[in-house]
Structure 1
Amino acid sequence: MIALLVRDLRLAVRAGGGFGLGLAFFLIVVVLVPFGVGPETGLLARIAPGILWLGALLACLLSLDRIFALDWEDGSLDLIATSPLPMEGVVSIKALAHWLTTGLPLVIATPLFGLLMSLPQAGYGPLVLSLLIGTPALSVIGTFGAALTVGLKRGGLLLSLLVLPLYVPTLIFGAETARRGAEGLDTATPMLMLAGISFGVTALLPFASAAVLRVNLR
């Protein structure tokens, strides 16, 4: 399992779908928003939690089609499927590798991007914590979508259409946690809901993803 994780981390970085791509897209979103809504600090501070969460979500979406595509193209996925490793474990490792190369760098960079959006000081902690809890759900859900579309030509657009509706609950509770934190309100309820979503999809979706992969590999 560890060898598979290391391999996927190396592939993600070499294929250009790792740290740089997601961070660059996130930065572009944060830079362009003030041009669209105006440079008013008060307005930017109000919309900053939602914009930062939306930017992180879209940045995670960029590299989803690479999770299984490279292994499908070179035949590695067939070898992995016939190995002693359980397919559910393989899917979980793929999701973890995606989070480490995409989600975690976004969490680390968020405080800097919050400065560009005039995020209130009280909002930094809840925003970072909500992303730390919520981005694993984005990777796991995205892995399920990637399993559904593996082997399809031009499956990237279909993958986005399938995954984005599933991302909505995570976005709602993540942005609400960050918004309440920025306004000095209690964040316990949306934070617990966000954690419940992350734990739920992490426990259930690897089995669904593994079943879908077995069907696609027949």
Structure 2
Amino acid sequence: MIALLRRDLVLAVRAGGGFGLGLAFFLVLSVLVPFGVGPEADVLARIAPGILWIGALLSCLLSLDRIFALDFEDGSLDLLATAPVPLEGVAVVKALAHWLTTGLPLTLLAPGLGVLLNLPPAGFGWLVISLAVGTPALSLIGAFGAALTVGLKRGGLLLSLLVLPLYVPTLIFGAQVATQGAAGLEVGTPLVLLAGISAGTLALMPFAAAAALRINLR
């Protein structure tokens, strides 16, 4: 499992599997928003948490199709399916590698981009917390979507259509945590719900992804 995780991390960095692309997209989106909505500080402060969360979500989406695609193309996925390691464990490792190369860098970069969007000082900590709690769910759901479309050529659009509706609850509660935290309001309820979504996806999505992989490998 550790060797598989290390291999995926090396491949993600060397092959550019979303590691740089996602960060670049996140940066570009944050830079362009002030040009689109205007430089008014109050407007930017109000929309900053939602914009940053949408940017993180779309950045994660860019690299989802590569979670299993490279292994499927070179035959490694067939070997993993017959290895002593269960496919559920493989799905968890793949999702973890995706989060470490996409979700975690986005979480660390978000406060710096929050400055560009005039995010209130009180919101920086809650933004990081919300992304740290919520982005694992994006990677786990994405692993399930990638498993469903792994055998399809040019399945990126279908993958996006499959996972975007599943991303909506995470986006809602994640942005709500950051928004209410920036306004100095209570964030307990949306934070608990966001953590519950991540815990639920961790409990369910590896089994769903493994079942989808078994169907596609038949």
Same fold (TM over 0.5): yes
1:6 corresponds in structure 2 to 6
Q: Which residue of 1 aligns with 2:116?
A: 116
The one-letter code sitting in structure 2 at the alignment partner of 1:189 is T
Give the TM-score, by structure 1 length.
0.99
Equivalent residue, structure 1, for 2:22: 22
Q: CA deviation at 1:92?
A: 0.2
Q: Unaligned 5+ residue runs, structure 1? A: none
> Are residue 157 (structure 1) and residue 137 (structure 2) matched?
no
Q: Any residues of structure 2 matched to 1:56-71 within 5 Å, and which? A: 56-71=56-71
Render the CA deviation track for 1:151-192: whole Å, top value 9, x for unaligned: 101100000000100000000000000000010000000000
Residue 138 of structure 2 aligns with which residue? Answer: 138
Show CA shifts across 1:86-142 (max 9, x none).
Answer: 110000000000000000000011110000000000001111000000000000000
1:195 aligns with 2:198: no
Give the drift of 1:17: 1.7
8 Å Cα contact 2:18/2:62 also seen in 1: no
Cα separation, 2, equivalents of 1:55 and 1:170: 13
Structure 2 Cα separation of the partners of residues 10 and 216 of structure 1: 26
Structure 1 residue 4, shift from structure 2 partner: 0.3
Cα distance between partner residues in 1 of 2:35 and 2:121: 23
Matched, 1:74 2:66: no
Indicate yes or no: 2:84 matched with 1:91: no
How far 1:20 sits from its partner (Å)?
A: 1.3
Using the alignment, how far apart are the partners of 2:15 and 2:75 within structure 1? 17
- Deviation, structure 1 residue 19: 2.7
Query: In the TM superposition, what are the counterparts of 1:174-185 in structure 2 within 5 Å?
Result: 174-185=174-185
Q: Which amino acid aligns with 2:2?
A: I
Amino acid at match of 1:39: P
Q: How many positions carry a matched residue from both structures?
A: 218
Task: For residue 150 of structure 1, give the secondary structure of its aligned residue in structure 2.
Answer: coil
Q: Which amino acid aligns with 2:35?
A: F
2:32 corresponds to which letter in structure 1?
L
Structure 2: tracts of 5 or more residues without a match: none
Match of 1:43 in 2: 43
Look up the SS of the partner of 1:121 in the other structure: coil
Q: Distance in 2 between matches of 1:81 and 1:8?
A: 16
What RMSD, in angstroms, separates the aligned Cα atoms of the two structures?
Answer: 0.6
Q: Which runs of 4+ in 1 moved over 3 A?
A: none
CA distance in 2, matches of 1:24, 1:140: 22
Q: CA deviation at 1:21?
A: 1.1
